[in-house]
Structure 1
Amino acid sequence: MSASAHEMKSYYAGRAAYYDDVYNKPERQADIAFLREFLPERLAGRHVLEVACGTGYWSQHIAAQAASYLATDGVAEPLEFAKQRPHVDPQRCMIADVYALPASLGSFDGAFAGLWFSHVAAECTSRDD
């Protein structure tokens, strides 16, 4: 693991208790209310993989309607919060590297990656073609 990847994991491990503060901001309430309805409806009945689930804020809403749900994160600390959410099966929460998910996870016909895209390293998003 690179030094920057290690630093990022340490940062998110230390911030796990504060992750959900973003969902309490008054200016975000309308969007969050919309997404709480929209996402579960779109993923209802699907076999869903969530990458970078964090504390499971979205997991609890989507898992309630999904046929199956696997919540993954690269850091253990936020996963402990996710495991305590309603509708989230602690046995279906795991530490995983989103860039190297094992084939043994099976197949999925739905996926969710909430705030993850803002954390993708620039070198992972550039294209040579």
Structure 2
Amino acid sequence: MSKCYCGRSQSYDTCCGRIHTDITLVTTAEDLMRSRYSAFVLAKGEYLMKSHHSTTRPPLKEKKSIVKWANSVKWVKLEVLKTSKGAESDEEGTVEFKAFYFENGALEVIHENSQFVKENGYWVYMGEVDH
């Protein structure tokens, strides 16, 4: 059995795959962040939009360019560095992570401290925390 794209030891189907099918299964901010990483690996534009807070979600017309970019890079790995709040009983939380990928032959990294909140009863990505 291969590991999920998010780096956990479960298979994709029992980890992020089930969340991609039903976003309400997300129990923590970290789970949502990991599922978004897997969605970038798989270029799942619908899920990336749905898992984004309604007030910070990119315009629908940008979905195509997000999917195109996600498909154009080779995703390497995800490292979760730190979490703050974001438990099942919380309403907000942050997750600091590094997502590594190859673009044009060079190793790149997205290093972000992301804010997550509950909207409509499930976790969504709000945006990067201001430093």
TM-score tier after normalising by the smaller chain length: under 0.3
Q: Which structure shows the higher strand fraction?
A: 2
Relative to the length of structure 2, the TM-score reads 0.26
Q: TM-score, normalised by structure 1?
A: 0.26
Larger radius of gyration: 1
